[in-house]
Structure 1
Amino acid sequence: MSAIIAPCALILAAGEGRRFQEAAGQGSDKLLARCRGLDGIERSVIEQVLRNLGEAVERRVLITRAHKTQVIEVAQAYGCEVVLLDSAGMGDSLRTGVEASANADGWLVCLGDMPFVTAGTFAKVYRSMVPERISIAHGPQGQGHPVGFGRAFREQLLQLRGDQGARRLFAEEHLHRVACDDLGIYRDVDRPDDLI
Protein backbone atom coordinates (compact mmCIF):
# COMPACT_ATOMS: atom_id res chain seq x y z
CA MET A 1 0.00 0.00 0.00
CA SER A 2 1.22 3.51 -0.74
CA ALA A 3 2.24 5.98 1.96
CA ILE A 4 -0.38 7.27 4.40
CA ILE A 5 -1.70 10.69 3.42
CA ALA A 6 -3.91 13.24 5.19
CA PRO A 7 -7.54 12.43 6.02
CA CYS A 8 -9.98 12.49 3.14
CA ALA A 9 -13.58 13.72 2.92
CA LEU A 10 -16.15 11.16 1.80
CA ILE A 11 -19.29 12.81 0.44
CA LEU A 12 -22.11 10.25 0.38
CA ALA A 13 -24.47 10.99 -2.51
CA ALA A 14 -25.72 7.61 -3.74
CA GLY A 15 -29.11 7.56 -2.00
CA GLU A 16 -32.34 7.29 -3.97
CA GLY A 17 -34.18 10.09 -2.14
CA ARG A 18 -37.53 8.25 -2.16
CA ARG A 19 -39.23 10.48 0.41
CA PHE A 20 -38.22 13.58 -1.55
CA GLN A 21 -39.57 12.08 -4.77
CA GLU A 22 -42.85 11.14 -3.10
CA ALA A 23 -43.41 14.82 -2.31
CA ALA A 24 -41.71 16.54 -5.28
CA GLY A 25 -42.50 14.06 -8.03
CA GLN A 26 -40.91 10.95 -9.53
CA GLY A 27 -37.46 11.65 -10.93
CA SER A 28 -36.82 14.67 -8.68
CA ASP A 29 -33.31 14.61 -7.25
CA LYS A 30 -32.98 16.29 -3.86
CA LEU A 31 -29.26 16.80 -4.41
CA LEU A 32 -30.07 19.08 -7.35
CA ALA A 33 -32.93 20.92 -5.62
CA ARG A 34 -32.25 24.61 -5.11
CA CYS A 35 -31.87 26.00 -1.62
CA ARG A 36 -30.64 29.24 -0.09
CA GLY A 37 -27.21 28.71 1.39
CA LEU A 38 -25.66 30.07 4.55
CA ASP A 39 -24.37 33.01 2.50
CA GLY A 40 -27.89 33.78 1.21
CA ILE A 41 -27.14 32.57 -2.33
CA GLU A 42 -29.28 29.90 -3.97
CA ARG A 43 -27.49 26.81 -5.26
CA SER A 44 -28.19 23.10 -5.53
CA VAL A 45 -28.09 21.10 -2.28
CA ILE A 46 -24.95 19.20 -3.32
CA GLU A 47 -23.17 22.40 -4.34
CA GLN A 48 -23.97 23.98 -0.96
CA VAL A 49 -22.42 20.96 0.78
CA LEU A 50 -19.26 21.06 -1.34
CA ARG A 51 -18.95 24.83 -0.96
CA ASN A 52 -19.38 24.64 2.82
CA LEU A 53 -16.74 21.93 3.02
CA GLY A 54 -14.42 24.76 2.04
CA GLU A 55 -10.67 24.38 2.00
CA ALA A 56 -10.52 22.33 5.19
CA VAL A 57 -10.02 19.02 3.39
CA GLU A 58 -7.80 18.81 0.34
CA ARG A 59 -8.84 15.36 -0.92
CA ARG A 60 -12.54 14.77 -1.52
CA VAL A 61 -14.19 11.59 -2.78
CA LEU A 62 -17.86 11.73 -3.74
CA ILE A 63 -19.77 8.45 -3.96
CA THR A 64 -22.80 8.51 -6.25
CA ARG A 65 -24.68 6.62 -8.98
CA ALA A 66 -23.71 6.64 -12.66
CA HIS A 67 -26.99 8.20 -13.82
CA LYS A 68 -26.53 11.26 -11.57
CA THR A 69 -24.58 13.09 -14.27
CA GLN A 70 -25.35 16.61 -12.98
CA VAL A 71 -24.22 15.68 -9.46
CA ILE A 72 -21.01 14.26 -10.97
CA GLU A 73 -20.40 17.49 -12.92
CA VAL A 74 -20.83 19.64 -9.80
CA ALA A 75 -18.54 17.34 -7.80
CA GLN A 76 -15.82 17.48 -10.43
CA ALA A 77 -16.10 21.28 -10.60
CA TYR A 78 -15.31 21.30 -6.85
CA GLY A 79 -12.27 19.06 -7.26
CA CYS A 80 -13.82 15.79 -6.11
CA GLU A 81 -12.79 12.35 -7.22
CA VAL A 82 -16.02 10.59 -8.18
CA VAL A 83 -16.64 6.93 -7.38
CA LEU A 84 -19.70 5.25 -8.89
CA LEU A 85 -21.81 2.84 -6.87
CA ASP A 86 -25.04 1.07 -7.74
CA SER A 87 -26.38 0.92 -4.19
CA ALA A 88 -28.28 3.30 -1.94
CA GLY A 89 -26.99 1.57 1.20
CA MET A 90 -25.06 3.74 3.67
CA GLY A 91 -22.74 0.83 4.51
CA ASP A 92 -21.98 0.18 0.85
CA SER A 93 -21.26 3.88 0.28
CA LEU A 94 -18.89 4.11 3.25
CA ARG A 95 -17.06 0.92 2.32
CA THR A 96 -16.71 2.01 -1.31
CA GLY A 97 -15.38 5.43 -0.31
CA VAL A 98 -12.81 3.94 2.07
CA GLU A 99 -11.74 1.42 -0.59
CA ALA A 100 -11.18 4.29 -3.04
CA SER A 101 -9.01 6.19 -0.55
CA ALA A 102 -7.47 3.36 1.46
CA ASN A 103 -4.19 5.23 2.03
CA ALA A 104 -5.92 8.16 3.75
CA ASP A 105 -5.17 8.95 7.38
CA GLY A 106 -8.88 8.91 8.18
CA TRP A 107 -12.24 9.79 6.65
CA LEU A 108 -14.46 12.80 7.27
CA VAL A 109 -17.92 11.50 6.37
CA CYS A 110 -20.19 14.19 4.92
CA LEU A 111 -23.76 13.62 3.76
CA GLY A 112 -24.64 15.03 0.36
CA ASP A 113 -28.08 16.11 1.58
CA MET A 114 -26.91 18.30 4.49
CA PRO A 115 -26.41 21.76 2.96
CA PHE A 116 -26.52 23.78 6.19
CA VAL A 117 -23.41 22.51 8.01
CA THR A 118 -21.02 25.47 8.32
CA ALA A 119 -17.48 25.54 6.97
CA GLY A 120 -16.32 26.16 10.54
CA THR A 121 -17.93 22.93 11.74
CA PHE A 122 -16.38 20.88 8.93
CA ALA A 123 -12.97 22.38 9.74
CA LYS A 124 -13.35 21.88 13.49
CA VAL A 125 -14.25 18.19 13.19
CA TYR A 126 -11.52 17.63 10.60
CA ARG A 127 -8.84 19.27 12.76
CA SER A 128 -9.84 17.13 15.75
CA MET A 129 -9.29 13.84 13.92
CA VAL A 130 -6.62 11.43 15.18
CA PRO A 131 -6.02 7.78 14.15
CA GLU A 132 -7.55 6.05 17.19
CA ARG A 133 -10.67 8.18 17.54
CA ILE A 134 -14.08 8.93 16.04
CA SER A 135 -14.73 12.67 16.05
CA ILE A 136 -18.36 13.71 15.83
CA ALA A 137 -20.05 17.10 15.66
CA HIS A 138 -22.01 17.63 18.88
CA GLY A 139 -24.42 20.42 19.65
CA PRO A 140 -27.43 21.27 21.81
CA GLN A 141 -29.49 18.38 20.38
CA GLY A 142 -26.71 15.79 20.71
CA GLN A 143 -24.67 14.14 17.98
CA GLY A 144 -24.92 15.16 14.35
CA HIS A 145 -22.81 15.26 11.18
CA PRO A 146 -20.07 15.28 10.01
CA VAL A 147 -18.27 12.33 11.58
CA GLY A 148 -14.52 11.77 11.31
CA PHE A 149 -13.09 8.25 11.52
CA GLY A 150 -9.40 7.84 12.27
CA ARG A 151 -7.39 5.34 10.22
CA ALA A 152 -7.59 2.76 13.05
CA PHE A 153 -11.19 2.13 11.95
CA ARG A 154 -10.27 1.32 8.33
CA GLU A 155 -10.82 -2.45 8.55
CA GLN A 156 -14.14 -2.06 10.35
CA LEU A 157 -15.36 0.44 7.75
CA LEU A 158 -14.35 -2.00 5.00
CA GLN A 159 -16.63 -4.62 6.57
CA LEU A 160 -19.79 -2.50 6.23
CA ARG A 161 -22.47 -3.80 3.88
CA GLY A 162 -25.86 -2.76 2.58
CA ASP A 163 -27.68 -0.16 4.66
CA GLN A 164 -25.66 -0.90 7.80
CA GLY A 165 -24.08 2.40 8.76
CA ALA A 166 -21.09 2.95 11.02
CA ARG A 167 -23.05 3.83 14.18
CA ARG A 168 -22.19 0.44 15.69
CA LEU A 169 -18.55 1.60 15.82
CA PHE A 170 -19.48 4.45 18.18
CA ALA A 171 -18.12 2.85 21.37
CA GLU A 172 -17.86 5.46 24.11
CA GLU A 173 -14.13 4.96 24.58
CA HIS A 174 -13.46 5.91 20.94
CA LEU A 175 -15.80 8.90 20.68
CA HIS A 176 -14.65 12.50 20.74
CA ARG A 177 -17.56 14.92 20.76
CA VAL A 178 -16.62 18.12 18.98
CA ALA A 179 -18.62 20.94 20.56
CA CYS A 180 -20.33 23.29 18.12
CA ASP A 181 -23.39 25.53 18.13
CA ASP A 182 -24.24 24.74 14.50
CA LEU A 183 -27.84 23.53 14.10
CA GLY A 184 -26.97 22.59 10.52
CA ILE A 185 -25.42 19.38 11.87
CA TYR A 186 -28.98 18.05 12.29
CA ARG A 187 -30.58 19.39 9.10
CA ASP A 188 -30.77 16.98 6.21
CA VAL A 189 -33.05 17.28 3.19
CA ASP A 190 -35.64 14.50 3.10
CA ARG A 191 -38.56 16.48 1.68
CA PRO A 192 -39.00 19.77 -0.22
CA ASP A 193 -40.04 21.51 3.04
CA ASP A 194 -36.53 20.87 4.40
CA LEU A 195 -35.03 23.22 1.81
CA ILE A 196 -36.33 26.30 3.62
Structure 2
Amino acid sequence: MSDGPVVIVLAAGLGRRFRASGGEGSKLQADLHGKPVLDHVLATVKRSGLKHHVVRSADGDGMADSIAAGVRAAASASGWLILPGDLPLIGEMSLHRVARALADQPVVVPTFEGNRGHPVGFTRECFEALAVLRGEAGAASVVQCYREQGRALLLPLDDPGILTDVDTLDDLQCVRDLLDASR
Protein backbone atom coordinates (compact mmCIF):
# COMPACT_ATOMS: atom_id res chain seq x y z
CA MET A 1 0.00 0.00 0.00
CA SER A 2 1.12 3.56 -0.72
CA ASP A 3 2.60 5.75 2.00
CA GLY A 4 0.25 8.66 1.36
CA PRO A 5 -2.69 9.94 -0.61
CA VAL A 6 -2.56 10.31 -4.37
CA VAL A 7 -3.74 13.50 -6.03
CA ILE A 8 -6.29 12.56 -8.69
CA VAL A 9 -6.24 15.35 -11.29
CA LEU A 10 -9.49 15.38 -13.25
CA ALA A 11 -8.79 16.26 -16.89
CA ALA A 12 -11.44 14.30 -18.78
CA GLY A 13 -14.28 16.82 -18.78
CA LEU A 14 -15.93 18.01 -21.96
CA GLY A 15 -15.81 21.72 -21.10
CA ARG A 16 -19.31 22.47 -22.38
CA ARG A 17 -19.63 25.72 -20.40
CA PHE A 18 -16.28 26.96 -21.72
CA ARG A 19 -17.31 26.40 -25.33
CA ALA A 20 -20.79 27.83 -24.67
CA SER A 21 -19.11 31.02 -23.40
CA GLY A 22 -17.24 31.40 -26.70
CA GLY A 23 -14.11 29.45 -25.85
CA GLU A 24 -12.50 27.22 -28.43
CA GLY A 25 -11.33 23.73 -27.65
CA SER A 26 -10.64 22.53 -24.14
CA LYS A 27 -10.58 24.93 -21.19
CA LEU A 28 -7.71 22.86 -19.82
CA GLN A 29 -5.64 23.67 -22.91
CA ALA A 30 -6.58 27.38 -22.92
CA ASP A 31 -3.56 29.67 -22.76
CA LEU A 32 -2.84 31.13 -19.35
CA HIS A 33 0.32 33.25 -19.47
CA GLY A 34 2.07 31.06 -22.00
CA LYS A 35 1.02 27.62 -20.88
CA PRO A 36 -2.20 25.62 -20.69
CA VAL A 37 -4.45 25.90 -17.64
CA LEU A 38 -3.88 22.21 -16.83
CA ASP A 39 -0.10 22.69 -16.86
CA HIS A 40 -0.41 25.25 -14.06
CA VAL A 41 -2.30 22.70 -11.96
CA LEU A 42 0.15 19.91 -12.73
CA ALA A 43 3.13 22.14 -11.89
CA THR A 44 1.64 22.83 -8.46
CA VAL A 45 0.96 19.14 -7.87
CA LYS A 46 4.53 18.26 -8.88
CA ARG A 47 5.98 20.95 -6.59
CA SER A 48 3.97 19.47 -3.72
CA GLY A 49 5.87 16.21 -4.03
CA LEU A 50 2.66 14.21 -3.65
CA LYS A 51 2.04 11.29 -5.96
CA HIS A 52 -0.54 11.98 -8.61
CA HIS A 53 -2.58 10.42 -11.38
CA VAL A 54 -4.18 12.36 -14.23
CA VAL A 55 -7.57 11.14 -15.51
CA ARG A 56 -7.76 12.11 -19.18
CA SER A 57 -10.63 9.81 -20.12
CA ALA A 58 -13.28 7.86 -18.26
CA ASP A 59 -16.23 5.60 -18.98
CA GLY A 60 -18.96 8.22 -19.05
CA ASP A 61 -18.61 11.99 -19.24
CA GLY A 62 -19.44 13.10 -15.72
CA MET A 63 -17.15 14.23 -12.93
CA ALA A 64 -18.14 11.18 -10.87
CA ASP A 65 -17.05 8.87 -13.70
CA SER A 66 -13.64 10.55 -13.72
CA ILE A 67 -13.31 10.30 -9.94
CA ALA A 68 -14.15 6.60 -10.03
CA ALA A 69 -11.63 5.99 -12.83
CA GLY A 70 -8.89 7.82 -10.95
CA VAL A 71 -9.51 6.10 -7.65
CA ARG A 72 -9.57 2.68 -9.34
CA ALA A 73 -6.30 3.51 -11.17
CA ALA A 74 -4.65 4.41 -7.83
CA ALA A 75 -6.40 1.68 -5.84
CA SER A 76 -3.39 0.90 -3.66
CA ALA A 77 -3.18 4.44 -2.26
CA SER A 78 -3.96 5.24 1.36
CA GLY A 79 -6.32 7.95 0.12
CA TRP A 80 -7.04 10.41 -2.65
CA LEU A 81 -7.19 14.16 -3.12
CA ILE A 82 -9.70 14.91 -5.87
CA LEU A 83 -8.50 17.95 -7.82
CA PRO A 84 -10.25 19.27 -10.93
CA GLY A 85 -7.74 20.28 -13.59
CA ASP A 86 -9.25 23.75 -13.96
CA LEU A 87 -7.96 25.27 -10.68
CA PRO A 88 -4.72 26.92 -11.87
CA LEU A 89 -4.24 29.12 -8.80
CA ILE A 90 -4.35 26.40 -6.14
CA GLY A 91 -1.42 26.47 -3.74
CA GLU A 92 0.73 23.46 -2.95
CA MET A 93 0.29 24.07 0.79
CA SER A 94 -3.44 23.50 0.35
CA LEU A 95 -2.68 20.06 -1.05
CA HIS A 96 -0.44 19.29 1.93
CA ARG A 97 -2.95 20.55 4.49
CA VAL A 98 -5.76 18.39 3.08
CA ALA A 99 -3.43 15.37 2.88
CA ARG A 100 -2.35 15.81 6.52
CA ALA A 101 -5.93 16.28 7.73
CA LEU A 102 -6.81 12.82 6.37
CA ALA A 103 -4.96 11.42 9.39
CA ASP A 104 -7.86 12.66 11.53
CA GLN A 105 -10.98 12.26 9.38
CA PRO A 106 -11.93 9.99 6.45
CA VAL A 107 -13.24 12.95 4.40
CA VAL A 108 -11.73 16.44 4.27
CA VAL A 109 -13.36 19.34 2.44
CA PRO A 110 -11.26 22.52 2.21
CA THR A 111 -13.04 25.85 2.55
CA PHE A 112 -12.17 29.46 1.86
CA GLU A 113 -14.27 32.13 3.54
CA GLY A 114 -16.97 29.52 4.19
CA ASN A 115 -17.15 28.24 0.60
CA ARG A 116 -16.27 24.62 -0.15
CA GLY A 117 -13.47 24.01 -2.61
CA HIS A 118 -10.96 21.42 -3.82
CA PRO A 119 -9.14 19.16 -3.45
CA VAL A 120 -11.56 17.07 -1.43
CA GLY A 121 -9.68 14.36 0.42
CA PHE A 122 -10.79 10.78 1.07
CA THR A 123 -9.10 7.95 2.95
CA ARG A 124 -8.92 4.36 1.80
CA GLU A 125 -12.08 3.67 3.83
CA CYS A 126 -14.01 5.48 1.07
CA PHE A 127 -12.69 3.33 -1.80
CA GLU A 128 -15.80 1.23 -2.41
CA ALA A 129 -18.10 4.26 -2.51
CA LEU A 130 -15.78 6.27 -4.77
CA ALA A 131 -14.92 3.46 -7.18
CA VAL A 132 -18.53 3.04 -8.30
CA LEU A 133 -19.51 6.71 -8.72
CA ARG A 134 -21.30 7.67 -11.94
CA GLY A 135 -22.69 10.85 -13.46
CA GLU A 136 -22.25 14.58 -12.95
CA ALA A 137 -22.53 14.96 -9.15
CA GLY A 138 -18.90 14.17 -8.41
CA ALA A 139 -18.42 12.70 -4.96
CA ALA A 140 -21.08 14.85 -3.27
CA SER A 141 -23.03 11.78 -2.14
CA VAL A 142 -19.96 10.33 -0.39
CA VAL A 143 -19.18 13.65 1.31
CA GLN A 144 -22.80 14.00 2.43
CA CYS A 145 -22.88 10.49 3.89
CA TYR A 146 -19.75 11.16 5.96
CA ARG A 147 -20.99 14.60 7.02
CA GLU A 148 -24.21 13.00 8.32
CA GLN A 149 -22.05 10.61 10.36
CA GLY A 150 -19.99 13.52 11.72
CA ARG A 151 -16.90 12.10 10.02
CA ALA A 152 -16.13 14.81 7.47
CA LEU A 153 -13.93 17.77 8.29
CA LEU A 154 -14.51 21.21 6.81
CA LEU A 155 -10.94 22.55 6.73
CA PRO A 156 -10.58 26.36 6.51
CA LEU A 157 -7.69 27.38 4.27
CA ASP A 158 -6.29 30.77 3.36
CA ASP A 159 -6.20 29.99 -0.37
CA PRO A 160 -8.77 31.46 -2.78
CA GLY A 161 -7.20 29.19 -5.42
CA ILE A 162 -9.21 26.26 -4.04
CA LEU A 163 -12.31 27.99 -5.48
CA THR A 164 -10.95 29.80 -8.54
CA ASP A 165 -11.80 27.53 -11.45
CA VAL A 166 -11.93 28.17 -15.18
CA ASP A 167 -15.35 27.27 -16.55
CA THR A 168 -15.89 30.19 -18.97
CA LEU A 169 -13.90 32.74 -20.95
CA ASP A 170 -14.77 35.30 -18.27
CA ASP A 171 -13.31 32.98 -15.61
CA LEU A 172 -10.14 32.63 -17.68
CA GLN A 173 -9.81 36.41 -17.93
CA CYS A 174 -10.37 36.75 -14.17
CA VAL A 175 -7.55 34.26 -13.50
CA ARG A 176 -5.28 36.14 -15.92
CA ASP A 177 -6.05 39.38 -14.08
CA LEU A 178 -5.33 37.76 -10.71
CA LEU A 179 -1.99 36.45 -11.96
CA ASP A 180 -1.10 39.87 -13.41
CA ALA A 181 -1.96 41.56 -10.10
CA SER A 182 0.26 39.14 -8.16
CA ARG A 183 3.34 39.84 -10.30
Q: Counterparts of 2:86 and 2:2 in 1: how far apart (Å)?
A: 29
State yes or no: 1:137 paired with 2:121.
no
Alignment match, 1:20: 18
Identity of aligned residues (%): 34
Aligned length: 169
Aligned ranges 1:17-166 → 2 under 5 Å? 17-25=15-23, 28-36=25-33, 42-65=34-57, 85-130=58-103, 132-166=105-139
Q: Counterparts of 1:133 and 1:53 in 2: how far apart (Å)?
A: 21
Q: Counterparts of 2:60 and 2:126 in 1: how far apart (Å)?
A: 22
Deviation at 1:131, TM superposition (A): 7.6
Q: Counterparts of 1:23 and 1:143 in 2: how far apart (Å)?
A: 24
Question: Does the 8 A contact of 1:14 with 1:64 survive in 2?
Answer: yes
Question: Does the 8 A contact of 2:105 with 2:153 survive in 1?
Answer: no
Deviation at 1:132, TM superposition (A): 4.9
Question: Does the 8 A contact of 1:35 with 1:43 survive in 2?
Answer: yes
- Give the match's secondary structure for 1:135: strand
- Give the match's secondary structure for 2:32: strand
Q: Which runs of 5+ in 1 are unaligned?
A: 37-41, 66-84
More helix as a share of residues:
2
**Structure 1 residue runs of 4 or more that deviate by more than 3 Å after TM superposition:** none
Deviation at 1:8, TM superposition (A): 0.7
Alignment match, 1:193: 170
Structure 1-normalised TM-score? Answer: 0.79
More strand as a share of residues:
1
- Aligned-partner residue type, residue 127 of structure 2: R
Structure 1 residues 136 and 100: CA distance shift in structure 2, 3 A: same
Question: Does the 8 A contact of 1:9 with 1:61 survive in 2?
Answer: yes
Q: Counterparts of 1:142 and 1:164 in 2: how far apart (Å)?
A: 17
